[in-house]
Structure 1
Amino acid sequence: MPDQPTLAEVAAAAGVSPATASRVLTGSVRVRTSARVQVHAAMARLGYTPRGGGDRRQRRTVPVIAAVVCESTRRLFTDSFFARLITGAEESLARESVPLLVLPTSPTTLAATERFLVSGGVDGVLLISAHKQHPLAAAVSAAGVPVRCAGRPADDLPLPFVDADNRGGARRAVEHLMRTGRRTIATIAGPPDLSAAVDRLEGYRDGLEDSAMQAPPVAYGDFTQASGSHAMGWLLHRVPNLDAVFVASDLMAVGAIHTLRRAGRRVPEDVAVIGFDDAPAARYVTPALTTVRQPVENLGAVASELLLGEVLDGRTGSHNPVLPTELVIRQSA
């Protein structure tokens, strides 16, 4: 049996110092993403196995899948999107008697999570809400761990994914607003480092470009209700004549409606509002929210099914389904 490569040999092959290679293996956050990719790629080329990792998968009779949510625990439990997505994945895997671990990952837990994932703790990773330049996306893929992203991956990483038609759904929302006579249509976009938010903003712009309608300044939020409320106030100050707003998430739309009400604007008489997701909050806000429904539970189910197939077959999937979205018309627009 050939000798196990040393850490020094891995570092030399990666073009980094042994100290940097060691920090990558221990999950330190003080390492550039490019260095992580180089080290994990060198490990794969040389056949280096971190101590304690190795043959865990071979010793397991049932594969273990982890849903890694690149958000804080607080966000995981306050945004229904994550609960719905994970429920779909969990129910799908349960039919195959495969357990699903759920790992929220904030900056304080990043190092421990990366160390666990790349050292053989799980057989596959369902990666959720990975923003641009997130270290986990590069680390787990370079380490050879099967990965399937829920949503198109940022940074153009060559990772398989399942996504919803965010761009097309946003475009249909804007077209509905124009058909109902709205002429100054603003938007509250999501985080610009998240692919779903980028696609929804592009869909909004697609709708306006088709009509040659001028786009007002873009307000941004972080998919929380508070950020939607703040962004709506920002828009009212800069575009006081707006008569419609497309909001990139239902929680932000609820915040926007509250701000409009405080400003004396009636919804939908003065300002029409459309959200995105069809979260439970969309049906209970007053007026009930017109929104773009994305098949969140199905997205989780399809992504986990494809990931499990890749884990069992040992091959990386090349099929990246994009699931349809649907405009649900209620009272707000």
Structure 2
Amino acid sequence: MTGRQPTLDEVAERAGVSRGTVSRVLNNRQHVSAKARRAVEQAIDDLGYVPSVAARSLASARRGAVVLAISSDDPALFANQFFAQVIAGVNTVMEDTDLHLMLILAATERGRERLERVLQSRGADGVMLLALRENDPLVKVAEAGKVPVVYGGQPLERAPRFYVDADNRGGARSAVEYLISTGREHIATITGPQDQQVGVARYLGYREALALAGLDARRVAHGDFSQESGARAMTELLDRHGDLDAVFVASDAMAAGALEALSAAGRTVPDDVAVVGFNDIVTAQHTTPTLTTVRQPIEALGREMTRMLLRAINEDTPTPLILPTELVLRDSA
């Protein structure tokens, strides 16, 4: 090609790849297949493309780190099986990069200020957000950082540009539909926090399944995803709704607490009360009885969040992703 300088878009079109892939090849970034790299190099030769020194300098000005910011101030959070599996998934992808991972607990003003300092000092290439609550100020801090932001789960207020989530609503609906199919009619729920999208979505799935079956959806108690809150909520439900014959619990940790409360009340599981949880953490296989639950791909959530962030950092345009869930039948229902 003679005359004018070919554009990056023309190189991408000639190679049959995205503009972001061309940028990664030009800057010798990872996460480019050998086939794509060869196609880009051939397109550059064919078109006579000469990359701008200034443009390459700007594109390669990476900070060398990404942040996983969690809207929690509990240091014990990293012992939580859900978050531990998410972090394991994140780490699996990060191991194949030259980037460092920073973990920040950012539910408090101090934690948010720490993230703000990192972003203002241009100390990170991108941010992943997890466990957000309604109108969470962490969102404003992250979005003001002028770097790509990927959400683990959608915030309640809006659908962001980049997010990875599980089918929480559909998974909850399938759990309650299964309970209905086994002849249960007085089905209660223990919800997660209603200021978090995940808690709201699972509650909506419960309500939808009962509405479609023409059953009462007013046997409700609220928890905070902890085992202790599950036990308290189950005791509350037994006091208010002694006729219940099943309960859908919005997390396995709360379901473990519910099983303890049912045992203390002399109710057998599943004969008197069937119990279904959500997540399929390791605990679900070791409760008494073992827990029927909705499996969400927790490690995959961490992996896909990280892959999406890397693509966004490299100027690709990833689309939001909803991961499937599945019902795992064990002894509690």
TM-score, with structure 1 as normaliser: 0.79
Q: Which has the larger radius of gyration?
A: 2
Structure-2 residue corresponding to 1:302: 304
> What secondary structure, in the 3-state scheme, does the structure 2 residue paired with 1:191 have?
coil
CA contact (8 A) 1:129 1:194 kept: yes
1:157 Cα offset (Å): 5.3
Q: Does 1:200 align with 2:202?
A: yes
1:114 Cα offset (Å): 3.4
1:136 Cα offset (Å): 1.3
1:60 Cα offset (Å): 5.7
Output the amino acid matched with 2:260. H
CA contact (8 A) 1:186 1:245 kept: yes
Q: Distance in 2 between matches of 1:290 and 1:229?
A: 17
1:104 Cα offset (Å): 1.7
1:117 Cα offset (Å): 3.7
**1:133-144 to 2 correspondence within 5 Å?**
133-144=135-146
**1:221-232 to 2 correspondence within 5 Å?**
221-232=223-234
Output the amino acid matched with 1:331. D
Q: Does 1:250 align with 2:252?
A: yes
Structure-1 residue corresponding to 2:68: 67
Structure-2 residue corresponding to 1:331: 331
1:215 Cα offset (Å): 1.1
TM-score, with structure 2 as normaliser: 0.79
CA contact (8 A) 1:90 1:99 kept: no
Name structure 1 gaps, 5 residues minimum: 1-56
Output the amino acid matched with 1:299. L
Structure-2 residue corresponding to 1:118: 119
Let me know the Cα RMSD of the aligned residues.
1.7
Structure-2 residue corresponding to 1:290: 292
Name structure 2 gaps, 5 residues minimum: 1-57
Superimposed CA distance per residue, residues 271-302 of structure 1 (whole angstroms, 9 cap, x where no aligned partner): 00000000111001110000000001011101
Superimposed CA distance per residue, residues 178-223 of structure 1 (whole angstroms, 9 cap, x where no aligned partner): 1111110000000001111111111111110110111133211100
> Structure 1 residues 157 and 179, CA, compared in 2 at 3 Å: closer, same or farther?
closer
Structure-1 residue corresponding to 2:167: 165
CA contact (8 A) 1:276 1:292 kept: yes
1:318 Cα offset (Å): 5.3
User: Which segment is superposed worse, 227-236 or 91-100?
Assistant: 91-100
Structure-2 residue corresponding to 1:94: 95
1:63 Cα offset (Å): 2.9
> What secondary structure, in the 3-state scheme, does the structure 1 residue paired with 2:288 have?
coil
1:262 Cα offset (Å): 0.4
1:58 Cα offset (Å): 7.8
1:158 Cα offset (Å): 2.9
Aligned residues: 275
